[in-house]
Amino acid sequence: MYLKEFDIRWSDVDANRHLANSAYINFMSHTRMAFLVENGFGQKELIKNNLGPVVFYEHVYYFKEIFPDQKIRVSLELKGLSEDGKFFQFEHNFYDDKGVNYARCEMMGTWIDLKTRKITKLQPHMYANLNKLSKTSDFKVLTKEDTRRYGQKPENCPEIAL
């Protein structure tokens, strides 16, 4: 399991004096990017391959409040990956220094070719680097259908003129 440690700063806290929702998202993004950079997905490699990561969704489940001056560890595990690396699903957990689980998040994403703006598969060496991340106990090989599970536009959803 990949872990990254963070201090909770005053700027991470909301009006209720606990960790703000946006801070959870930022800590998870920082954790993901740290793993990716350490495993061959740095800016030079992404530019060379015209790749950009895209988040389809992030579902956060909160169990306990996190307060300022706490240290937390954010985990990263692979919950799903398509056979060509186009689609990935990560699971994050937030732990205190005693291992108490404060929150969990499932996120799903894809890679786009930044020139064509189309979803693209990973190069074999990049796929191998991503696939070596520890997997959750319910890891799944993803298909395009798995990406459509949530967030479909309702049939009678009106468009608006701006």
- Domains of the chain, first to last: 2-144 (3.10.129.10)
The more confidently predicted of residues 109 and 160 is 109
- What is the model's pLDDT at position 69? 85
Here the contacts of 153-160 (C-beta below 8 Å, separation 24 or greater) are none
Its pTM stands at 0.88
Average pLDDT, the chain: 92
Can you read off the two tokens belonging to residue 72? 């937390």
- What is the model's pLDDT at position 146? 86
pLDDT tens, position by position, 5-49: 999 999 999 999 999 999 999 999 999 999 999 999 999 999 999
pLDDT tens, position by position, 99-124: 999 999 999 999 999 999 999 999 99
d(CA 4, CA 38): 12
d(CA 72, CA 69): 10
Contact 108, 88 (CB under 8 A): yes
The CA radius of gyration of the chain, in Å to the nearest whole number, is 17
